[in-house]
Amino acid sequence: MKILLCTNGSSHTVQALDLGTRVARAAASSVDILAMVERDREEEVHRLAEAAAGDLKAAGIPVTILRRTGRMAEEVVRQAQAAPYDLVIIGSRGRRGVVRLLLGSVALHVTKHAPASVLVVKGHARDLRQFVVCSSAGPVSEHTVRFAGRLARALGASVTLLHVMSQLPLAKDAVPDDLEASAEELIQRGSREGVHLSQMLDLLAMEGVATRAVARHGLVRDEIIAEAQEGRYDLVVTGAHVTPGLNARLVDNLSADILLAANRPVLMVRWRERRALNAGGDC
């Protein structure tokens, strides 16, 4: 796995560099460290990048330090487009409301424009031992689950597959049983969601990852955040917003909402083959 770590010396990017180094030690085949050099932090950024590089080299991983100046969001995207990274790791300050509206979000910009999957480090970033992976029972989910499974195997983490059913029964002859069923019941019944969950559990089991499935009922956004908090997960994994064409304007970008609302690291897995997909977010 080729990983790009990014820092500009600010506290949240230092945290991202720290967690990113630990992830890279377990999962990377090569690492580039993008050091954003700012006038007042030049020495500090240099020291941080060198320390991380030394750490990774000691683990036998080839490392290159790339020094850049300018706006961090644009430079990260430019670098992510320049080489075939599997994963970009950045920090997020966690701005909210008007401040975010005025100053923007580096993490959002990167997740929107970088062609690779992005791990956004925010909140209290512990070792990544428990993942919650959002699954939409759509075609993109398989890629998301595979990617999360590979990372979980490398880190020795367990995975909880989460599927949220926000549907309401509107047809007179609709059978609403699935809308309150647990993951086990969905799997037993062989419903569309159950078949998908079962397949994804098998896929993770083949990676040698400890797994379980959870189904929640309610608004997708709220239920994912609630599960992430109640389950004390270390990482929320979701598929990136990859809908092409007109659908990109029509479909809601749930992944971005989850990224903004979560108070812990979020991994947005991007499907790199830009086929004519019809899926918006993976949850």
**Using CB under 8 A as the criterion, which residues of the chain lie in contact with other proteins when the complex forms?**
136, 138, 166-176, 178-179, 218-222, 246-247, 249-252, 254, 278-281
Output 20 or 280, the one with its CB closest to other proteins.
280
The Cα–Cα gap between 116 and 162 comes to: 23
In terms of phi and psi (left: phi > 0; alpha: psi -120 to 50; beta: otherwise), the region of 156 is left
Task: Determine contact, residues 164/218, Cβ cutoff 8 Å.
Answer: yes
Output 12 or 241, the one with its CB closest to other proteins.
241
The residue length of the chain stands at 283
Q: Shortest distance, CB of residue 223 to other proteins, whole angstroms?
A: 11
The Cα–Cα gap between 199 and 210 comes to: 15
Q: Which helix (H) or strand (E) holds 178?
A: none
Q: Shortest distance, CB of residue 238 to other proteins, whole angstroms?
A: 13
Output 65 or 251, the one with its CB closest to other proteins.
251
Distance of CA 20 to the CA centre of its chain: 13
Q: Shortest distance, CB of residue 118 to other proteins, whole angstroms?
A: 21
Output 66 or 226, the one with its CB closest to other proteins.
226
Pure H helices in 83-138: 97-103, 106-113
Q: Shortest distance, CB of residue 244 to other proteins, whole angstroms?
A: 11
Output phi, psi for 191, to 5 deg: -70, 170
**Token pair listed for 143:** 């890629």
The Cα–Cα gap between 64 and 55 comes to: 13
Task: Determine contact, residues 153/209, Cβ cutoff 8 Å.
Answer: yes
Q: Shortest distance, CB of residue 274 to other proteins, whole angstroms?
A: 18
Q: Shortest distance, CB of residue 228 to other proteins, whole angstroms?
A: 17
Q: Shortest distance, CB of residue 190 to other proteins, whole angstroms?
A: 13
| Furthest CA-CA distance within the chain | 68
The vertex-219 CA angle with 246 and 157, nearest 5°, equals 95
Task: Determine contact, residues 278/239, Cβ cutoff 8 Å.
Answer: no
Q: Which residues pair with 245 in a beta bridge?
A: none
The Cα–Cα gap between 190 and 188 comes to: 5
Output 106 or 220, the one with its CB closest to other proteins.
220
Output 185 or 222, the one with its CB closest to other proteins.
222
Output 268 or 279, the one with its CB closest to other proteins.
279
Q: Which amino acid is at 88?
A: V
Q: Shortest distance, CB of residue 187 to other proteins, whole angstroms?
A: 17
Output 102 or 168, the one with its CB closest to other proteins.
168
